[in-house]
Structure formats: structure tokens, C-alpha cells
Amino acid sequence: MAKFTGTTEQAGGSFLGADFWKKGVRIEGVVQGTFETSVGKSYSIALNKPTKVNGNVEENVSIGGLKGFNMALRAAGVPDQDLMTGDAIIIECTGFTKTDKGNDQINFKVLVDRPE
């Protein structure tokens, strides 16, 4: 008989929303899975090095729903801007662009290494 154990925190961890990102902030890790939210697809990432999010040190985080992030995935040539489980990823905030929507767009540089 197979047994499985897991927690919500392992599956997603803290969400890296707009308030987390500052120019030069960078995370590295491996995509552990995907899930849908009200703003689209999000990804859970196991970090290579724990990082502080909202005052807590996290080993697993989630990201998604940020237009600049999706634009960077498209610019990198990631098929359908869709990360896959097992993708190694580096995400770095490169700055911000003013918009007419009240919130600045967060700009990212991404590197995705997909196992064959």
C-alpha cells in the first residue's frame, strides 16, 4: 500500500506578490507544480536558498498573476508562457515601468532550464 504525506505550505508557500519585489531581488529554484488562482496560473517553487517573505524564512514560494512575469516568460520563449514541473528557474526583478492603471508594472528577467 502506498502512503502519501504533504502540507499546503510544501505545495505553495508564501505568495510572492508585488510588495515582495524590489529591483535586484532574485530567487532561484525548481518548479514543483502549478495551480489556478483568480488571476490565472501560478507556480509553486522550491527555492535553492531560503528567503525572507513577510518576515518569515521560506523554502517554498508561489508566483503568478504578475503581468511583467508572464511577459518575461513569453520573451524568453517559454512555450505558451507555461512553466512545467521540474523546470529550474531564476527570476530577478529588473525594475519598474509606470502605467496608467495606478500600479507600476514589475519588470523581470527570467532564465528557465527545462530538463529534456
Q: Do the bridges between strand 88-97 and strand 56-64 make them parallel or antiparallel, or are there none, so unpaired? A: unpaired
pTM: 0.89
With a pLDDT cut of 70, the percent of the chain lying above it is 96
pLDDT over 70 (residue 14):
yes
Tens of pLDDT, residue by residue over 28-46, are: 999 999 988 887 899 999 9
Which residues touch 43 (CB under 8 Å, ≥6 apart)?
A: 31, 33, 34, 62, 63, 64, 83
pLDDT over 90 (residue 52):
yes
Fold for 10-113, please state it. OB fold (Dihydrolipoamide Acetyltransferase, E2P) (2.40.50)
Task: Write down the pLDDT at residue 6.
Answer: 76
User: Would you say 86 and 30 are in contact if contact means Cβ atoms under 8 Å apart?
Assistant: yes
Domain ranges of the chain: 10-113
